[in-house]
């Protein structure tokens, strides 16, 4: 089974400077509702949470040859330090302000990276698809076919399973569709997951699905809206989709935190038994309306999450000067690829690209 999103982490000891040791011979291993959302964005002075450098250490293997060997420090590996690479896909130059590309999803199949996203024109959203062999150059977008008609057809989550593309999508509630090529879909079922009970955190709408293949089965993370606030929930996909638990699993932070107003737009993965999530964090500490930044959280069970701070901050001179949001994450052989949404001074939404190292465990 191929999975839409995968992830990885490294944890290592540290040292400084070259080492000279008198040993045998050292073997050095170097590991190489419907539609309810906050769309008003405003720049703010960005202060990111730095990620500590985690160098790769080595373990000695003694043999009987007495030789002095100088062992230089291996290159440091810094997981979850994202390097930005600019735009992956930009909307046409004729695009109006507050329009563009939103809510990306990624999957890998047969040597090709597949990218889905919503194209927003006014109040109308339509899902589109592009592909890439290298994650740098993408094909021209083409619209998805076979989906239910609605004003807002957006917010995709895609899993590759048994050679098919499995798609959950929608605004307010989710539909389910399948495809052989990622473009031409058959809508299998409508409203497979709907808003929660009165008084719940998702009482008015569910948005932004993210589906993860776990040892316990398929898990759905999603954004819930109760008419006033956004939070991230979790459910199990079986014959039905059941909330597990009923309460939100990631909620807004304190008034002084970078996610003090809303948490939404999850990209969730599992790597080495650890649950990882990137999410849109809405911040009104300095301006209101304020910007989104992309936050990062970890969990042992996918229910109790520990926030790790800001993963993608704003760049005053870049395509994400006003906002960075809607992450989608894909593990590749040599690095991680993130496609996320940036909102710039021209007030148009673009799909941006960033990468992070894979560190051996």
Domain 76-357, CATH class in plain words = mainly beta
∠ CA 17-8-133, rounded to 5°:
105
Question: pLDDT-based confidence at 215, cuts 50/70/90?
Answer: confident
For the segment 56-81, what is each residue's pLDDT rounded down to a tens digit?
222 333 333 344 445 555 556 667 89
For residue 296, the Cα-to-chain-centroid distance in whole angstroms is: 9
Average pLDDT across the chain, whole number: 84
Question: pLDDT-based confidence at 53, cuts 50/70/90?
Answer: very low
3 state DSSP class of 75: coil
Least confident range of 34-43, 206-215, 257-266: 34-43
Question: pLDDT-based confidence at 54, cuts 50/70/90?
Answer: very low
What's residue 102's pLDDT?
A: 98
What's residue 221's pLDDT?
A: 98
CA pseudo-torsion sign 11, 15, 18, 21: negative
For residue 9, the Cα-to-chain-centroid distance in whole angstroms is: 15
Decide if pLDDT at 6 tops 70: no
**Across 142-154, average pLDDT:** 96
Determine if residue 103 is left, alpha or beta; phi over 0 gives left, psi from -120 to 50 gives alpha, anything else beta.
left
**Across 227-237, average pLDDT:** 97
């Amino acid at each position: 089974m191929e999975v839409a999103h995968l992830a990885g982490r490294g944890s290592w000891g540290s040292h400084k400077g070259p080492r000279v040791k008198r040993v045998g011979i050292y073997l050095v291993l170097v590991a190489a509702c419907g539609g309810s959302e906050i769309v008003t964005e405003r720049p703010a002075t960005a202060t990111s949470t730095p990620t500590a450098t985690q160098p790769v250490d080595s373990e000695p293997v003694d043999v009987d040859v007495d030789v002095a060997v100088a062992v230089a420090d291996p290159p440091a590996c810094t997981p979850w330090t994202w390097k930005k690479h600019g735009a992956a896909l930009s909307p046409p130059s004729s695009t109006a302000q507050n329009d563009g590309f939103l809510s990306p999803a990624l999957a890998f199949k047969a040597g090709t990276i597949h990218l889905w996203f919503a194209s927003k024109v006014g109040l109308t959203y339509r899902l589109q698809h592009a592909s890439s062999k290298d994650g740098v150059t993408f094909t021209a977008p083409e619209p998805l076919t076979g989906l239910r008609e609605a004003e807002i057809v957006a917010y995709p989550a895609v899993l590759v399973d048994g050679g098919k593309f499995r798609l959950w999508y929608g605004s307010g509630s989710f539909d389910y569709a399948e495809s052989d090529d990622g473009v031409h879909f058959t809508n299998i079922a409508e409203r497979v997951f709907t808003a929660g009970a009165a008084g719940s955190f998702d009482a008015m709408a569910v948005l932004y699905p993210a589906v993860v293949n776990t040892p316990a089965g398929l898990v759905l993370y999603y954004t819930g809206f109760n008419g006033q606030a956004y939070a991230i929930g979790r459910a199990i996909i079986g014959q039905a989709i059941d909330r597990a638990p009923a309460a939100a699993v990631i909620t807004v932070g304190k008034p002084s935190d970078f996610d003090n107003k809303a948490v939404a737009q999850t990209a969730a993965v599992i790597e080495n038994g650890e649950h990882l999530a990137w999410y849109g964090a809405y911040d009104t500490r300095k301006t209101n309306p304020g910007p989104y930044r992309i936050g990062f959280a970890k969990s042992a069970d996918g229910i109790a999450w520990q926030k790790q701070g800001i993963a993608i901050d704003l760049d005053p001179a870049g395509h994400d000067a006003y906002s960075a949001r809607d992450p989608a994450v894909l593990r590749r052989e040599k690095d991680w690829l993130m496609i996320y949404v940036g909102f710039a001074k021209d007030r148009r939404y673009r799909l941006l690209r960033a990468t992070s190292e894979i560190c051996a465990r």
